[in-house]
Amino acid sequence: MQDTVLFVAFEFPPLGGGGVQRSLKFVSYLPQFGILPVVVTVPAEQYPRLMPHHPIDGQLLRNLPDEVIVERIPCEEHVRPSSAIAHWAEMYFSISEIFKETWRSSLEQALPRLIEQYKPVAVVVTVPPFAMGTLWRKLLKRYSIPLIMDFRDAWSQWCVAVHGSRWHYIAKLKEERKVLQAATHVICTSDQIRKDLLQVHPKISPEKIDVITNGYDGLLKPVAQSSKQGDDPFVIGYVGHFYYTPSSRAAIFKPWWKKPIHRWLNYTPRKEDWLYRSPYFFFQAVRRLFDEHPALEKRLKIRFAGTTPDWLLEQIRSFGLEHICEHQGMLSHDEVIRFQEQCDALLVTSSKVIGGNDYSIAGKTFEYFTIGKPILAFVCAGAQRDLLQATRNAVLCDPDQPTVSANQLLSLLQGETIIEPDYTYMEQFHRKALTAKLAAIIRKKGKPCVA
């Protein structure tokens, strides 16, 4: 007999981007473990207005198993205040996305029917949007149904930008704690996120928080070792966003007295340098390589798939690399796979946590495992570097050592780099194996959700 779960994924296909892959694959594999997922999300036609900066990729639903049920519950569209002051106040005093308000009414009406019709043994809520944690903690107060939270990213400890003030951070931390307390189980995507959560919430039991990383589908491919010969360029490719903006970085690192007066109270619990997530240090190494070996400028191409922000073009210009950089724009997931297969190496980067370890592992990293191309990793201490060291399938470059990194690039281009992945170790990251862990957690069921 199958158990049924409500799987709440505000971001779900046909919405595109890396954030939907984890939810899509979980619900696709769960039926193989005797668990029927009922996806609770928003109508497809609302995404262009609710999330206008996200791509739409209708092909993603093509392989969703027929038995998976998708319940699309309308979400009210937020009306921006007409007054500039009111808009500022709304933004300043908010600690999470507006969806916790705009989706609540429809869900309150739909939830009794969903529970009566499907009789779920648990509710799985994936975040971001982090407002989903707050919303579903409150919605489930009246029901004795276990809540399982899936943190695709860090919440209070995600420091890509500053908080409005220390008060904002404390309020976010308090709400995060309430969600952790209400949940029967908590899942996160790296050991470092788990450590960070336990550090800032020491009263939460360590047994409550499990790690299920992102993963890959398909088969692992042997990594190609040969270099390009003849006139064909060696192509290094990158897919996706960098989650970096110069203004956000300046807000983190600029002294308070150098900021506009309305930003004097800005606060961040730690300093994360997201310039390291950008290709800046990769470009620096490429420039160093070309300065030492000018002939190589005709042998290398760098291709980007995704949005092309102004700061990226400026970085490219500052290193004089316009002639070797190409921009493919936004691609569907199928097109992304073809793009990766046409590259000779695939670039990943990571942010730098000052005095600590980075917690994020880019979802694309696992997908790279199935492409069979060397991974060129400009990564700092943390979860991404630890994973690639363990899998042994990457050229690990220290972003703060441009000369050493340039020499590593030279070896890669000349075919001297030998990569010998640990395929046995990598098998644990297949999405079917990861979903088996989620299925085991769901079957534990645990105590009901209580606020």
Amino acid 221: pLDDT: 87
Q: For residue 324, tell me if it sits in a domain.
A: yes
Terminal alpha carbon distance of the chain: 31
CATH of the domain at 82: 3.40.50.2000
Q: Do 171 and 26 share a structural domain?
A: yes
Structure tokens at 403: 């000369």
Residue 333: band (very low, low, confident or very high) from pLDDT cuts 50, 70, 90: confident
List alpha helices for 276-421, DSSP H: 280-292, 310-318, 333-341, 363-368, 383-391, 402-413
Amino acid 449: pLDDT: 44
Q: For residue 251, tell me if it sits in a domain.
A: no
Amino acid 446: pLDDT: 46
Q: Do 172 and 295 share a structural domain?
A: no
Dihedral of CA atoms 16, 18, 21, 23 in degrees, nearest 10, equals -90
Mean pLDDT on 285-299 = 95
pLDDT digits (tens, 9 = 90+) for 230-257: 678 999 999 988 989 999 999 999 998 9
Q: For residue 254, tell me if it sits in a domain.
A: no
Q: Do 200 and 78 share a structural domain?
A: yes
Q: For residue 192, tell me if it sits in a domain.
A: yes
Q: Do 73 and 88 share a structural domain?
A: yes
Mean pLDDT on 378-407 = 97
Q: How far is CA 95 from CA 49, 88, 131, 247, 308, in A?
A: 21, 13, 9, 20, 29
Considering the entire predicted model, what is its pTM? Answer: 0.92
Strands 394-397 and 325-327: unpaired
pLDDT digits (tens, 9 = 90+) for 7-29: 999 999 999 988 899 999 999 99
Interatomic CA distance for residues 262 and 185, integer angstroms: 40
Asked whether 276 and 349 are in contact (CB, 8 A), the reply is yes
Scan for tokens 């991974």, then name that residue.
Answer: 375
- The rounded percent of the chain whose pLDDT value lies above 90 is 79
Is the pLDDT score of 79 beyond 90? Answer: no
Strands 69-72 and 325-327: unpaired
Q: Do 119 and 21 share a structural domain?
A: yes
Mean pLDDT on 111-138 = 96
Residue 392: band (very low, low, confident or very high) from pLDDT cuts 50, 70, 90: very high
Average pLDDT over all residues of the chain: 91
Q: Do 57 and 197 share a structural domain?
A: yes
At 377, which amino acid appears? A
Is the pLDDT score of 67 beyond 90? Answer: yes
Amino acid 450: pLDDT: 43
Amino acid 448: pLDDT: 46
Q: For residue 226, tell me if it sits in a domain.
A: no
Q: Do 417 and 440 share a structural domain?
A: no
Mean pLDDT on 60-83 = 86
Residue 54: band (very low, low, confident or very high) from pLDDT cuts 50, 70, 90: confident
Is the pLDDT score of 351 beyond 80? Answer: yes
Is the pLDDT score of 187 beyond 80? Answer: yes
Amino acid 99: pLDDT: 85
- The rounded percent of the chain whose pLDDT value lies above 70 is 93
Amino acid 65: pLDDT: 95
Q: Do 342 and 288 share a structural domain?
A: yes
Mean pLDDT on 189-209 = 96
Amino acid 268: pLDDT: 92
Interatomic CA distance for residues 245 and 247, integer angstroms: 5
Q: Do 27 and 127 share a structural domain?
A: yes
Buried b (16+ CB within 10 A) or exposed e, 166-181: eebbebbbebbbebbe
Q: Residue 131 carries which DSSP code? A: H
The burial class, CB within 10 Å (0-12 / 13-18 / 19+), for 51 is middle
Q: How far is CA 255 from CA 66, 179, 184, 424, in A?
A: 55, 33, 41, 48
Q: Do 204 and 75 share a structural domain?
A: yes
Least confident piece of the model among 116-130, 214-228, 431-445: 214-228
Q: For residue 20, tell me if it sits in a domain.
A: yes
Q: Which domain holds residue 385?
A: 234-242+278-425
Between 262 and 377, the more confident residue is: 377
Mean pLDDT on 262-268 = 89
Mean pLDDT on 94-111 = 87
Q: For residue 104, tell me if it sits in a domain.
A: yes
Asked whether 331 and 307 are in contact (CB, 8 A), the reply is no
Is the pLDDT score of 86 beyond 70? Answer: no
Q: Do 139 and 13 share a structural domain?
A: yes
Q: Do 438 and 373 share a structural domain?
A: no
Interatomic CA distance for residues 133 and 175, integer angstroms: 9
- Please tell me the total count of domains within the chain: 2
Interatomic CA distance for residues 371 and 364, integer angstroms: 11
Q: For residue 14, tell me if it sits in a domain.
A: yes
pLDDT digits (tens, 9 = 90+) for 164-173: 889 999 999 9
Structure tokens at 132: 């989903």
Kindly list the strands in the beta sheet with 394-397, ordered across the sheet, starting from the edge strand earlier in the chain.
325-327, 300-305, 234-239, 345-349, 375-378, 394-397
Residue 93: band (very low, low, confident or very high) from pLDDT cuts 50, 70, 90: low
- Nearest alpha carbon to residue 26 among 304, 223, 213: 213
Amino acid 224: pLDDT: 77
Query: Beta strands of 215-269 (E only): which ranges?
Result: 234-239
